[in-house]
């Protein structure tokens, strides 16, 4: 449900809710996902993984496996050739290619249970499985460390003997598990705390959680005899898969074509590679296509969850509730290799608020866990959990309404963020006010229920994108997008093209191109596609319109300034000409006579992405005898700029809220004493099921359309996972009667906190 904002009358398509163009294929099973491709002669690949949390690989003996009939290729880390390494920009993060290579197939050490050690390609799954058993890996088991705080302690097992903490001067004398120390801040924090009317303090922890996409990683790779190769895979970016795979195998980009499959969810977790370089290395060895598909257990063990975090926070405020200073140290698990999103945690922590004095330290810490990957607003939800819990404490201490307190401190346009950007086109205050005015916030709670409120921020990004618009000979149009469609972008691309061309949405189709069929694009991530790729689509459509007008002017022999384009029809405004309007259909059918095919491709680097702000309200109750929590009502409000397809925007808000509630209540990676993952399945890794949640109500705040986008779009996919952790926890804390500081808030931990466990 939206807040009643109607699409402006001058839009005919934008703001409507047409059916999903990929919907029928997906509900009938016709859609082709990563595991659905088959090629003649294709082999089954399997990966042998480490049974240990931390070990040195003494030797790998594959001789018996090689002799097994049906085994066609075996590869290990020595088959990769990452050369000088270096970083690749992967959307919201830079990926160090030496680490990515050592993650897809281990070098001389394994750093976590499930770390890939070797791979086989064989004529059947049974032969591949038997071959894995025949590969003998001799390990020297090393002491391991799982917990982020323990990994930082003196005497902790050090994973990488060449890891000297970056961001510290002078360079530390000894290697450690702290990959980097990020420092951000401004003002005089010490003085502000000295004169504070109220001080709030807390230490918070969150567990590592997985994106939980329904489709496990899958790919088919085929090495050509001439050295030109093709990969079919499910990912968030075919260009990123190409870049990483080519780098890891030392291939020119033009020799590798990546064809995107449908993707069954990614949430950031498919912005890197695990299988593709391995499948291609196997195919290179044997000359046959190789398919690799992860099991769910492999997804949990060996693909990236996001960081668990440990954080200390301290707020200073006046007695009236104005926050004057904040200090925060964030310690994020990076997994086996450097690169947690802790810097993004620091940047987003206070981005909703205008705080004069800030001191933030972020520590990127490695431990014997799978390397983290991006997950929806990477780094922000954990930081927001601590900040929004502390603000809830402040509201309780001052007996202030939690929304009024946030309005008092809310950031406004023109303010400087701690990371240097200036706030523009923000509607955070409008979003807070929309929540305050909503029936949910005014509804009385039943006995035994409590309400939690929390806010959240995400930057949203633009960046490099390409798109093409082709006018078909019958006057319809095809949009060629460079980004895999995860959240309904085929619909929004087609809608923006239809709006610009003046066509009904049914006459515009959108396709996702492979790496050879459209210009480069960054990945589907950072909530960038509707903004950046959408901008390329609109610009391409505008070029097409300009071309159509030129052709009409040429036909009429009039000045192009006298041609008006409206609703897919060119009209001559020159009063001296007595001519009939020319429709798209007529112009398209005569294109040969006016200059040939009508099409345009635009590649751009989109600037001006506007940040998004969300405010969530959660009502819940607790079974006081079992500690079990039930969410009874939930509303998510968000500053969305303008919703191109409001139903999909609402879906993003609902999906983010659902994932955030799972993060708050039950999801966690559980390790045993041997450092092995104890719950690598959906049975014991507890994401919410549909019946766990009420219908999540949404409020789309369209008060500030983004003026830097042709239709006012802001990214919307990531903000909604930022507030739920604290929205849930603030309600649980109110019921338990004390501040809950450690996620997840499972029945066991809640009952213990109530003093009854």
Partner 1 sequence: MSGVEYISPGTVAEAISALQAAGGNGRLLAGGTDLLVQMRGGRAKPKVVIDLKGIPGIAAIREEAGGFIIGAAASGALIGEHEGLRKAWPGVVEAANLIGSTQVQGRASLGGNLCNASPAADSVPALIAAGAICVIAGPNGQREAPVETIQSGPGKTTLGKDEVLMAFKLPKRPAHSGDAYLRLIPRTEMDIAVVGAAVSVTLDAPGKCISARVSIGAVAPTALLVETAGSALVGSSFDDVALANLEAAVAVACKPISDKRGTIEYRTKVAAVLARRAALIARDRAQGSDRAQGAAS
Among 691, 695, 737, 755, binds partner 1 (CB under 8 A): 691
Phi, psi of 242 (to 5 degrees): -60, -50
Among 665, 736, 740, 743, binds partner 1 (CB under 8 A): 665
The closest alpha carbon to 606, from 725, 715, 746, belongs to 715
Residue 27 binds partner 1, judged by CB under 8 A: no
Residue 402 CB, shortest distance to partner 1, in Å, is: 27
Residue 145 CB, shortest distance to partner 1, in Å, is: 20
Q: Is the N-terminal amide bond of 536 cis, ω within 30° of 0?
A: no
d(CA 460, CA 653): 15
The closest alpha carbon to 354, from 286, 303, 405, belongs to 405
Residue 626 binds partner 1, judged by CB under 8 A: yes
> Which C-beta is closer to partner 1: that of 168 or that of 752?
752
Residues of this chain, 260-299, that bind partner 1 according to CB under 8 A = 297
CB of 264 closer than 8 Å to CB of 486 = no
Among 679, 694, 703, 741, binds partner 1 (CB under 8 A): 679
Torsion sign across C-alpha atoms 575, 578, 582, 587? negative
Among 102, 328, 732, 751, binds partner 1 (CB under 8 A): 751
**What mask, x for binding partner 1 by CB under 8 A, covers residues 101 to 130?**
-----------------------x-xx--x
Among 38, 605, 623, 738, binds partner 1 (CB under 8 A): 623
Burial class of residue 591 in the structure, from the number of CB atoms within 10 Å of its CB (0-12 exposed, 13-18 middle, 19+ buried): middle
> Which C-beta is closer to partner 1: that of 137 or that of 408?
137
- Token pair, residue 399, equals 């007996």
- Token pair, residue 617, equals 């309200």
Residue 689 binds partner 1, judged by CB under 8 A: yes
Residue 678 CB, shortest distance to partner 1, in Å, is: 5
Q: What is the DSSP string of 167-216?
A: T-SSPPSS--SEEEEEEEEES-HHHHHHT-SEEEEEEEEE--B----SSP
**What mask, x for binding partner 1 by CB under 8 A, covers residues 325 to 344?**
--------------------
Residue 746 binds partner 1, judged by CB under 8 A: yes
Residue 312 binds partner 1, judged by CB under 8 A: no
Residue 752 binds partner 1, judged by CB under 8 A: yes
Size of the site for partner 1 (CB under 8 A): 30
Give me the half-sphere count of Cα atoms (radius 13 Å) on the Cβ side of residue 530.
31
Rounded to 5°, angle at Cα 374 from 518 and 350: 115
Residues of this chain, 583-622, that bind partner 1 according to CB under 8 A = none
CB of 381 closer than 8 Å to CB of 458 = no
Residue 635 CB, shortest distance to partner 1, in Å, is: 21
> Which C-beta is closer to partner 1: that of 290 or that of 687?
687
Residues of this chain, 53-82, that bind partner 1 according to CB under 8 A = 70
Helix axes 428-437, 402-409, angle to 10 degrees: 160
Residue 625 binds partner 1, judged by CB under 8 A: yes
Residue 70 CB, shortest distance to partner 1, in Å, is: 8
Q: Which segment (213-221, 276-284, 407-415, 623-631) binds partner 1 by CB under 8 A?
A: 623-631
Classify the phi-psi angles of 166: left when phi > 0, otherwise alpha if psi is within -120 to 50, otherwise beta.
beta
Residue 692 binds partner 1, judged by CB under 8 A: yes
Residue 633 binds partner 1, judged by CB under 8 A: no
DSSP-assigned beta bridge partners for residue 233 = 219, 260
Buried b (16+ CB within 10 A) or exposed e, 296-332: eebbbbbbbbbbbbbbebbbbbeeebebbbbbbbbbb
Residue 561 binds partner 1, judged by CB under 8 A: no
Residue 670 binds partner 1, judged by CB under 8 A: yes
d(CA 392, CA 405): 9
Judged by the rule CB under 8 A, the positions of this chain that interact with partner 1 are 70, 124, 126-127, 130, 297, 623, 625-628, 665-666, 670, 678-679, 683-684, 686, 688-689, 691-692, 746-748, 751-752, 756-757
């Amino acid at each position: 449900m939206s807040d009643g904002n109607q699409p402006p009358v001058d839009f005919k398509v934008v703001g409507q809710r047409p059916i999903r163009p990929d919907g029928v294929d997906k509900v009938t099973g016709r859609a082709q996902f990563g595991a659905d491709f088959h090629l003649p002669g294709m082999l089954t690949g399997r990966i042998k993984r480490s049974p240990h949390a931390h070990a040195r690989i003494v030797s790998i003996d594959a001789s018996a496996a090689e002799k097994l009939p049906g085994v066609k290729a075996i590869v290990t880390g020595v088959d990769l050739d990452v050369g000088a390494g270096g970083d690749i920009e992967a959307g919201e993060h830079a990926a160090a290619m030496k680490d990515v290579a050592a993650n897809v197939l281990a070098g001389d050490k394994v750093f976590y249970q499930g770390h890939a050690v070797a791979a086989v390609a064989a004529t059947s799954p049974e032969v591949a499985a038997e071959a894995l058993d025949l590969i003998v890996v001799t390990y020297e088991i090393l002491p391991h460390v799982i917990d982020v705080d323990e990994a930082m302690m003196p005497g902790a097992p050090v994973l990488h003997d060449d890891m000297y903490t970056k961001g510290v001067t002078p360079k530390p004398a000894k290697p450690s598990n702290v990959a980097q120390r990020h420092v951000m801040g401004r003002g005089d924090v010490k003085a502000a705390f000295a004169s504070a009317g109220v001080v709030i303090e807390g230490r918070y922890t969150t567990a590592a959680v997985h994106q939980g996409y329904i489709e496990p990683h899958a790919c088919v790779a085929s090495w050509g005899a001439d050295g030109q190769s093709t990969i079919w895979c499910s990912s968030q970016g075919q260009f990123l898969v190409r870049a990483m795979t080519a780098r890891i195998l030392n291939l020119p980009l033009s020799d590798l074509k990546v064809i995107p499959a449908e993707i069954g969810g990614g949430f950031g977790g498919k912005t890197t590679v695990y299988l593709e370089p391995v499948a291609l290395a196997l195919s290179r060895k044997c000359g046959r296509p190789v398919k690799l598909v992860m099991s769910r257990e492999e997804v949990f063990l060996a693909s990236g969850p996001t960081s668990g975090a440990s954080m200390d926070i301290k707020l200073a405020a006046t007695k009236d509730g104005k926050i004057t200073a904040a200090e925060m140290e964030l310690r994020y698990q990076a997994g086996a290799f450097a690169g947690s999103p802790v810097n993004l945690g620091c940047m987003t922590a206070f981005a909703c608020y205008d705080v004069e004095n800030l001191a933030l330290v972020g520590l990127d810490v490695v431990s014997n866990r799978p390397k983290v990957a991006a997950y929806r607003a990477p780094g922000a939800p954990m930081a927001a959990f601590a900040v929004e819990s502390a603000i809830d404490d402040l509201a309780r201490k001052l007996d202030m309404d939690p929304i009024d307190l946030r309005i008092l401190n809310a950031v406004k346009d023109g303010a400087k963020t701690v990371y240097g950007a200036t706030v523009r086109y923000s509607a955070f205050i409008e979003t807070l006010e929309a929540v305050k005015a909503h029936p949910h916030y005014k509804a009385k709670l039943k006995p035994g229920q409590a309400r939690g409120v929390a806010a959240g921020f995400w930057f949203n990004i633009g960046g490099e994108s390409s798109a093409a618009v082709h006018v078909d000979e019958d006057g319809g149009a095809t949009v060629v997008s460079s980004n895999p469609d995860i959240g309904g972008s085929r619909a929004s691309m087609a809608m923006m093209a239809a709006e610009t061309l003046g066509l009904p949405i049914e006459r515009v189709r959108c396709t996702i191109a492979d790496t050879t069929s459209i210009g480069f694009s960054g990945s589907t991530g950072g909530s960038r596609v509707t903004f950046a790729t959408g901008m390329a689509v609109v610009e391409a459509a505008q070029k097409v319109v300009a071309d159509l007008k030129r052709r009409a002017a040429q036909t009429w022999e009039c000045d192009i300034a006298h041609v008006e384009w409206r609703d897919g029809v060119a009209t001559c405004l020159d009063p001296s000409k007595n001519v009939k309007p020319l429709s798209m259909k007529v112009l398209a059918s005569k294109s040969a006579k006016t200059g040939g095919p009508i099409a345009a491709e635009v590649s751009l680097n989109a600037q001006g992405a506007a940040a998004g702000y969300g405010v969530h309200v959660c009502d819940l109750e607790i079974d006081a005898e079992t500690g079990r929590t039930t969410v009874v009502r939930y509303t998510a409000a968000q500053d969305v700029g303008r919703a191109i397809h409001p139903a999909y925007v609402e879906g993003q808000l609902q999906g983010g809220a659902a994932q955030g509630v799972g993060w708050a209540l039950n999801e966690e990676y559980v390790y045993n004493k041997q450092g092995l993952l104890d719950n690598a399945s959906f049975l014991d890794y507890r994401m919410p099921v549909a019946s766990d949640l009420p219908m999540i109500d949404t409020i789309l705040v369209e008060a500030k359309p983004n003026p830097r986008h042709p239709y006012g779009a802001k990214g919307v996919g990531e903000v909604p996972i930022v507030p739920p952790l604290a929205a849930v926890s603030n309600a649980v804390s109110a019921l338990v009667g004390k501040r809950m500081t450690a996620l997840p808030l499972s029945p066991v931990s809640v009952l213990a906190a109530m003093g009854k466990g």
